[in-house]
Amino acid sequence: MLALAAAIGLCAPTIALASAQARPAPTVSSAAAAASPAYTTSVRTGVGLLGGTTDTGNHCGSYDDWNNTSPCTTPLQFPFPVKFYGKTYTSALADTAGNIQFGGDATRTESDTCFPDPELGPAFAVHTGYAMQTAEKPTFGIFTGVHGTAPHRTFVVEWRAGLAGLSFDDPYAEWDFEARFVEGSSTVSAVFGDSYENDLGPNDTWVRTSPAPWRGSTAVQDGLGHSSGGCGGTPAKGTEVTFTTTPTAPTVVEENGAAVRYSGTWRAGRCGSSTCSPGNRQTSTSAAGARATLTYTGTRADWVASTGPNGGKVGLYVDGRFVRTVDLYSPTIVDGRVFAGPTKASGKHTLTLKRLSGRLNVDAFRVR
Note the pLDDT tens digit of each residue in 274-315.
Answer: 777 777 889 999 999 999 999 999 889 999 999 999 999 999
Please count the other Cβ atoms lying within 10 Å of the Cβ belonging to residue 67.
Answer: 11
Q: How do residues 138-165 score in pLDDT, each as one tens digit? A: 888 999 999 999 989 999 999 888 765 5
Q: Residue 283 carries which side chain, given as an amino acid letter?
A: T
Break the chain into its structural domains and give their ranges: 3-246, 251-367
- Does residue 366 register a pLDDT over 90? yes
Confidence of residue 205 (pLDDT cuts 50, 70, 90): very low
pLDDT of res. 339: 95
Rounded Cα distance, 223 and 41, in Å: 5
**What pLDDT score was predicted for residue 289?**
93
- Does residue 284 contact residue 305 with C-beta atoms inside 8 Å? no
Higher pLDDT, residue 284 or 368: 284
pLDDT at residue 189, as a whole number: 86
pLDDT score recorded for residue 221: 46
Per-residue confidence (pLDDT) for residue 94, from 0 to 100: 85
364 pLDDT band, cuts 50/70/90, is: very high
Read off the pLDDT of residues 236-276 as tens digits, 9 standing for 90 and up: 788 888 888 766 678 899 999 999 999 999 999 988 777 77
CB 16 within 8 A of CB 115: yes
Of 40 and 320, the structure prediction assigns the larger pLDDT to 320
User: Average pLDDT of 188-206?
Assistant: 56
Note whether 239 and 175 are within 8 A (CB): no
Residue 68: predicted pLDDT: 52
User: What is the pLDDT at residue 117?
Assistant: 52
Residue 175: what pLDDT? 77
pLDDT at 311: 96
Instruction: Give pLDDT, residue 62.
Output: 61
pLDDT tens column, 75-124 = 999 999 988 776 788 988 888 877 787 766 666 544 444 544 545 554 55
Q: Rounded CA gap, 320 and 335, in Å? A: 27
Strand, helix or coil for residue 263: strand
The CATH code of the domain at 251-367 is: 2.60.120.260
For residue 54, pLDDT beyond 90: yes
- Dihedral sign (CA 91, 96, 138, 53): negative
Q: What is the DSSP letter of 236?
A: P
- Contact assessment for residue 1 and residue 232, using Cβ atoms and an 8 Å cutoff: no
Give burial (CB, 10 Å; 0-12/13-18/19+) of 48.
Answer: exposed
Q: Mean pLDDT over residues 351-366, rounded?
A: 96
pLDDT in tens, 21-52: 333 332 233 455 555 556 777 888 899 999 99
Please return the burial class of 101, using the count of CB atoms within 10 Å of its CB with bins 0-12, 13-18 and 19+: buried
